[in-house]
Structure 1
């Protein structure tokens, strides 16, 4: 028997665009959205990984397409959006997940600052603006942005990254109010420490100056989050199960912000 919740969590018949959808939290969300019936559009600078994610979705009987786009490149971003607007009539879910870290402490410079702010703040802003005509055609439009608990509380060793994620949260809250009269919901996910390939690379590169064990021990639940933990929240926010939620930045952090 299908419950009311099962019906509300379903994404059947909806189109969901996920930036940074080829790995980690983005990939987990793409796979999960597809199991719930969404046609998933994966946008990622790693074209091979995006194609592999699409192939996995299709093998499981789902529907997906991939686009190789370096979103930091404004010309490439514009070309992708122009093509998508020509080829699609409606967009139900825009998941602005793609993001990048920044140098630790005072190691930032103009270039690293601009790159961080571009992908973490400007890209979600411009994609949301450009895709508004398609979102307005949906009867259940949901915009989701991936922020971070670093945008909710001070993280002294990541000042540039923290600034970008705090700015993103305020953008989410502002446009949530702007778009609420139209029924378009806008929310943010704020992951805590999450075991992703990106985090492991950052540790190996010295961007994150802690071990996996040290990070796990710092979480009240005594474990790191998984990409699937974040995907479950993304699905909830994308679906009708969260139909009365907008303008919220939700920590998914094992108690770290408590």
Structure 2
């Protein structure tokens, strides 16, 4: 599907980003993950170390067909003790840097648009569900409970996200635009409280 495409995925050296092609702020992990991914198929994965919190490290490439904004962070802290510095840092990485990188890559994506150039954002946390505490990763403290409440009785894995990413980046997903797709095994449905209807 993407044999001749240039794909850039931020936050790609670990977690759900590891199944697609990559940049990461940690140079050693970025190169190691790129080498590992390259061994999986006939193509080549190139590691591009970059800290997306720094403007001068934003990437410039000669060609780009797909951009996946996967880099992101959370901060586990109660609302009462949540530090301003953490909020500023997360807002910068999770919002501003997505805008900045997309803006910088836009000329290349537009050039590739005739071939189906795409841009997408991957959000790792349950943004549609209100939590009293913002957890770095809920799986660390409630993995088994999450698995039990999921209709598929398992926690999502990198392949689940990779499959949707490949579909959206291919011609098969070329008519999907501006949509939010929940890759959660159906958890969104089970996490919402049941509504009582009174007649």
Normalised by the shorter chain, which TM-score bucket?
0.7 to 0.9
Measure how far apart 1:148 and its partner are.
4.2
- Higher normalized strand content (fraction of residues): 1
Write the distance in 2 (CA, Å) between the matches of 1:220 and 1:57. 31
SS at structure 2 position matched to 1:151: coil
TM-score, normalised by the number of residues in structure 1: 0.66
Structure 2 runs not aligned, ≥5 long: 190-199
Per the alignment, residue 194 of structure 1 pairs with none
Task: Give the alignment's Cα RMSD to 1 decimal.
Answer: 2.0
Aligned 8 A contact 2:51 2:57 in 1: no
Q: Distance in 2 between matches of 1:130 and 1:50?
A: 21
Identify the residue that residue 247 of structure 1 maps to in structure 2.
178
- The Cα offsets for residues 24-49 of structure 1, whole Å up to 9 and x where unpaired, read as 2101123xxxxxxxxxxx21012112
1:110 is aligned, of 84, 92, 109, to 84
Secondary structure of 1:61 counterpart = coil
Pick the aligned partner of 1:49 from 11, 22, 29: 29
Q: Greater CA radius of gyration, 1 or 2?
A: 2
- Separation in structure 1 between the aligned mates of residue 168 and residue 180 of structure 2, nearest angstrom: 11
Q: Which residue of 2 aligns with 1:78?
A: 56
Which structure: greater helix fraction?
1
Secondary structure of 1:254 counterpart = coil
Instruction: Give CA-to-partner distance per residue, 1:107-146, whole Å, 9 cap, x none.
Output: 3111100111111111111111111111111021110101
**CA distance in structure 2 between the partners assigned to 1:157 and 1:233 by the alignment:** 29
Aligned residues: 185
Q: TM-score, normalised by structure 2?
A: 0.84
